[in-house]
Structure 1
Amino acid sequence: MDPEAHKGFRKYTGDAISTLSWDADTGTHIPFRASVSHKHRTWAKTHFSNPELFLRPQSEKEIRLIVNLARQCGKTIVVVGSGHSPNDLTCTSSWMVNLDGFNSVVFENCRELQLEVEAGIRLHQLADELEKRGWAMPNLGSITAQSIAGAIATNTHGSSLRHGTLSQAIVSLTIMLSSGESLRCSATENEDLYHAALVSLGGLGIITHIVFQAVPAFNLAWKQEVVMTPQILDAWKTDLWTRSEFIRVWWFPYSGRSILWSADKTEEPLRERPHSWYGGGLGRFSYELALYFSTWLPWLTPIVERYVFSLQYRWEVGPSGSAVQKSHEALTMDCLFPQLVNEWAIPLEKGPEAIQRLQTWLDGDKGDKSGIPFSPKGIYVHAPIEVRVADTTLQAKKPWLDQSCQTGPTLYLNATLYRPFLRNPPEWERYYNAFEWLMKDLGGRPHWAKNFISTSKEEFWGMYPKMKDWVELRNTVDPHRMFANDWLKKNLLKDEEDTEITQIKERLKKL
């Protein structure tokens, strides 16, 4: 055991570690890798916490030891990977488990192109392992910093109507429950737990192993072009989202323009992506500094955004860059600097209405045309607003808490606000309240990992027909409430007293 951890651990368990950590197979003690002085922060530095213990297991036996000890001590466990989610889902004052050291390939099935991996493996590590075998991930989000377990726990998606979310590629998974028991789950084995765990929010147990379905490696030829935003809206119902396998749009409200990015598989030789103005050190620093000044003088924001747009892309309508890259390189992007992120899923057909109403409101409308009952005065947003799509109706494996639309394609609208030098832009909460009001009005649901601020527990229960099933299953597999973290209690889990009252009411209705 780490000497530092031993000192902090004894106050909980005394000498229990000596008994519980003994491995009869090897005749040695199982390592207990922990520290008592870890300070956790999200990637965007939006939330911080100081866990009592920060644990870094490197084997399944070590994970089981942690679970058994936490149960004995009455501690809550939160599993954290990169902390890239900007909300407080990964924060805790209890025990925090990081699986970065539990990230190896366990087994490969070359015939089926399947790879079993330990759940702490980061997506970029998984992409490298697949590339060694001539394989690739069929779909990706915008970054590869997350662990595979974290990416599916919050329902990461890409941007393609030919794909669903990342969970579409999960053949099976193994989850360790609060009892210390490990269960393997798939579409044919422990099905309910499988569908619940595909978007687990860390609330069911610790996912330890994942069998991933790969595809043959492929390159993508992509291009981006400057398009007037009205043209985007005109093409919405024709071929905008079907002209290529991967499509995404960055909408710049102050310029009247959008960037349309499209990519398809190709046999062409690799060709590097074009120079990025704000991808270089000087451009990045200049952009962040200009945004920082705009937090003190908000009216500068549109000027900054239009100027940076012209430097990064060019002002004239037409092509603004292309490349041929390996799939995982082409589909990812530079997030630049810390940011608040508020992303919602709405029906794809409601996209033009959403963009037009939000644009009208940002232009100064007080609700007469947009219907948004918040004042836009003094609100200046950072660009771009990201527009992406997916179609989870293609998935045979449907997570119970999938925020995507269940009857058709989904539009994901992402309102990003940069935090230049860690300073929040003024009036960001009013902007997000207005944005979320519009998204709810259009039948939307928030991305679990983002900075939603106005959705209540009751609203979440109304949004998800399977919420009751998910919570009941969660309570069944975790009777010790070891994985009922603070975030779940705040957003989803009803108080035990409320649950008892509800059960009594349901029994009275049956009489």
Structure 2
Amino acid sequence: MDPNAYSEFHAFTTPAIAALSFDAATSRHIPFRARTRHRHATWARTHFSRPELYLQPRSIPELRLIVDLARKLGKHVVVVGSGHSPSDLTCSASWMVNLDEFHGVVAEEPESRVITVQAGMRLRDLIVELEARRWAMPNLGSITDQSIAGAIATSTHGSSLKHGILSESVVALTIMLANGKVVECSRERNVDLFCAALVSLGAIGIVVHVAFRAVAEYKVRWEQEVVKLPRFLKSYDSVWDESEFVRCWWFPYSERTIVWHGKKVEEEIQSPPESWYGASFGRYTYEALLYLAIWFPSTMPYVERFVFKMQYGLEEGVKGSAVENSHQALTMDCLFSQFVNEWSIPLHKGPEAITRLEHWLNGRSELSGIPISSAGIFVHAPIEVRVTDSSTSSNPRAYLDQSIADGPTLYLNATLYRPFLRNIPEWRRYYEAFEYLMKDLGGKPHWAKNFVTPTADDVWSMYPDMEKWVRIREKCDPTGVFVGDWLKRCILDGQEAKRAVAEEKAGEGDGGFVVVGDDGQEI
């Protein structure tokens, strides 16, 4: 073991932990890259935690050392990338593993455009690697700050009925289980594990390699149009099929939507129009106005209407177009700190969802069917509207894919900004009302977002494959190395989860699930 690494480790741990580390690593010279006093924060500064150890390994042997020690010492391990999720999913008081130093290219198959990368690689860096090969990602979410493992673990998606969630492009995963063994799973090998790990919530094991299928590089011509809400609802059924990529933003107080269409083209790059709040002056003006509205909530509609007018104008029609490389066209500026509460519902229920929420925000509770008062609630715009469709895919479906299994999916995203890191009044009551509506329409919350009312039992009722996922998780991690507080609260504290775990520990009903290693033997 590297003497410097050992002395650094020994300096801030107990003799017992140091002895375990030395015994596990002395013959392999494996460094243990850990530090104390790390303060973890989500990107939006919505949650904080102080892990006992913050570890940044650079190799599989280093990861194995961490997992072996955690298992022997009864520690929990939470893996974190950018922390872009605004929930406490990545928070931990135990051990936190960050894979930012584990970010290289492992292999590539030019004929099939499959690239295998270490799981800590950020999407933005993956895009650079793909561009060097004249490849691209087939679809993207709103940002590229996440690690590739973090993006697929939380069911990240873009907005297109031609595509499902991001993990549909994953060909294979290599995972380190709680026993320290590394296994590969794919569409042909360890298929049950693959379906569980495609949306793993970081609870199956540590994903170390991701094999991702890219497409040939492409450019997107996009345009955005101001459409009044009644016209948008009237054309709702056809708007999603007009282009490969479509997303919309509804601005309640302006009674308008922005409809964004993008299609693949072979044209010269054309720069996008200037954005009012994309520039520093507009951005800080918007944030300052939202901050003032915290103290004078009734001014919020006026602020939002002013900002919409400055950004887009009030007249209907096309308000900007561009031709950009795919990753530039499909991503967006998230501005500043925010709560994000996003749910999936069947696509055909969109007009009902928007109409009922519009009634509620305007004080017409009797028409909204939401039994929660909207008095004194003034929210931020926009409410984002996106779509996917995994129902026709031939790929194995992730057990915890929150999209609709038997048809196209609509995602409604109720964003609430936190101007200068300040929460707006009554944000929780707004989310309670929003979630009541989503549950009433058969919705599911996005795993990485700020849902507030669903219990573990609620979540179990939404996922028919949840029991299978929990049984696989228990088999892969019987001592709970990868069980954090969020996972216990949101899934494992449910009565059905407790029963499934108890049966698994009793050796009952594992459904024949096995994990096979490279030698063909069960692990």
What's the TM-score, normalizing by structure 2?
A: 0.93
Matched residue, 2:266: 267
User: Counterpart of 1:443 in structure 2: which amino acid?
Assistant: G
Residues 118 and 500 (structure 1), Cα distance of their counterparts in 2 relative to 1, 3 Å cut:
closer
Give identity over the alignment, percent. 56
- What is the 5 A alignment of 1:462-481? 462-481=461-480
Matched residue, 2:21: 17
Determine whether 1:374 maps to 2:378.
Answer: no
- Encode CA deviations 1:71-130: one digit per residue, 9 max, x unaligned: 111100000000000000000000000000000001110011000000000000001100
Q: What SS does structure 2 have at the residue aligned with 1:277?
A: coil
Matched residue, 1:172: 172
- What is the 5 A alignment of 1:262-341? 262-341=261-340
User: Counterpart of 1:138 in structure 2: which amino acid?
Assistant: P
- What is the 5 A alignment of 1:45-444? 45-237=45-237, 239-366=238-365, 368-395=366-393, 396-444=395-443
Residues 501 and 71 (structure 1), Cα distance of their counterparts in 2 relative to 1, 3 Å cut:
closer
Q: Separation in 2 of the partners of 1:417 and 1:6?
A: 45
Q: Report deviation, 1:14.
A: 3.2
User: Counterpart of 1:175 in structure 2: which amino acid?
Assistant: I
Q: Separation in 1 of the partners of 2:223 and 2:66?
A: 48
Q: Separation in 1 of the partners of 2:281 and 2:11?
A: 47
Residues 12 and 276 (structure 1), Cα distance of their counterparts in 2 relative to 1, 3 Å cut:
farther
- Encode CA deviations 1:328-361: one digit per residue, 9 max, x unaligned: 0110000000000000000000000000000001
Residues 383 and 9 (structure 1), Cα distance of their counterparts in 2 relative to 1, 3 Å cut:
same
Matched residue, 1:483: 482
User: Counterpart of 2:310 in structure 1: which amino acid?
Assistant: L
Q: Report deviation, 1:58.
A: 0.7
Q: Is the 1:4–1:36 contact (alpha carbons within 8 Å) kept by the matching residues of 2?
A: no
Determine whether 1:456 maps to 2:433.
Answer: no
Q: Separation in 2 of the partners of 1:287 and 1:235?
A: 31
Q: Separation in 1 of the partners of 2:216 and 2:501?
A: 54
Q: Separation in 2 of the partners of 1:194 and 1:119?
A: 15
* Number of residue pairs aligned between Structure 1 and Structure 2: 501
User: Counterpart of 2:68 in structure 1: which amino acid?
Assistant: N
Matched residue, 2:510: none
Q: Is the 2:140–2:331 contact (alpha carbons within 8 Å) kept by the matching residues of 1?
A: yes
Q: Report deviation, 1:427.
A: 0.4
Q: Separation in 1 of the partners of 2:285 and 2:196?
A: 45
Q: Report deviation, 1:494.
A: 3.5
Q: Separation in 2 of the partners of 1:500 and 1:212?
A: 32
Q: Separation in 2 of the partners of 1:80 and 1:277?
A: 34
Residues 230 and 81 (structure 1), Cα distance of their counterparts in 2 relative to 1, 3 Å cut:
same
Q: Report deviation, 1:187.
A: 1.0
**Contiguous gaps of at least 5 residues in structure 2:** 508-523
Q: Report deviation, 1:8.
A: 2.2
What's the TM-score, normalizing by structure 1?
A: 0.96
- Encode CA deviations 1:280-333: one digit per residue, 9 max, x unaligned: 111111100000000110011100000000111111111111110000011000
User: Counterpart of 2:145 in structure 1: which amino acid?
Assistant: A
Q: What SS does structure 2 have at the residue aligned with 1:63?
A: helix
Q: Separation in 1 of the partners of 2:266 and 2:381?
A: 34
Q: Separation in 2 of the partners of 1:93 and 1:501?
A: 24
Q: Separation in 1 of the partners of 2:241 and 2:27?
A: 56
Q: Separation in 2 of the partners of 1:121 and 1:503?
A: 37
Over 6 Å off, 4+ runs:
none
Q: Separation in 2 of the partners of 1:19 and 1:74?
A: 17
Q: Separation in 1 of the partners of 2:9 and 2:86?
A: 28
Q: Separation in 2 of the partners of 1:495 and 1:279?
A: 43
User: Counterpart of 1:250 in structure 2: which amino acid?
Assistant: W
Q: Separation in 2 of the partners of 1:62 and 1:207?
A: 14
Residues 438 and 186 (structure 1), Cα distance of their counterparts in 2 relative to 1, 3 Å cut:
same
- Encode CA deviations 1:232-279: one digit per residue, 9 max, x unaligned: 111112x20000000000000001100000000001100111111111
Q: Separation in 1 of the partners of 2:374 and 2:179?
A: 51
Q: Is the 1:164–1:394 contact (alpha carbons within 8 Å) kept by the matching residues of 2?
A: no
Q: Separation in 2 of the partners of 1:2 and 1:394?
A: 53
Q: Report deviation, 1:3.
A: 5.2
Q: Report deviation, 1:40.
A: 0.2
Q: Is the 2:221–2:324 contact (alpha carbons within 8 Å) kept by the matching residues of 1?
A: yes
Q: Is the 1:43–1:84 contact (alpha carbons within 8 Å) kept by the matching residues of 2?
A: yes
Q: Separation in 1 of the partners of 2:21 and 2:285?
A: 53
User: Counterpart of 2:13 in structure 1: which amino acid?
Assistant: F
User: Counterpart of 2:303 in structure 1: which amino acid?
Assistant: V
**Contiguous gaps of at least 5 residues in structure 1:** none
- Encode CA deviations 1:154-188: one digit per residue, 9 max, x unaligned: 00000000000000100000010010001100011
Q: Report deviation, 1:9.
A: 2.8
Q: Separation in 2 of the partners of 1:126 and 1:6?
A: 36
Q: Separation in 2 of the partners of 1:498 and 1:165?
A: 29
Q: What SS does structure 1 have at the residue aligned with 2:239?
A: coil
Q: Separation in 2 of the partners of 1:70 and 1:258?
A: 50
Q: Is the 2:460–2:494 contact (alpha carbons within 8 Å) kept by the matching residues of 1?
A: no
Q: Separation in 1 of the partners of 2:451 and 2:490?
A: 11
Q: Is the 2:471–2:501 contact (alpha carbons within 8 Å) kept by the matching residues of 1?
A: no
Q: Separation in 2 of the partners of 1:248 and 1:277?
A: 20
Residues 231 and 338 (structure 1), Cα distance of their counterparts in 2 relative to 1, 3 Å cut:
same
Q: Please, what is the CA RMSD of the aligned residues?
A: 1.8
Residues 33 and 303 (structure 1), Cα distance of their counterparts in 2 relative to 1, 3 Å cut:
same
Q: Report deviation, 1:420.
A: 0.2
Matched residue, 2:10: 6
Q: Report deviation, 1:495.
A: 7.5
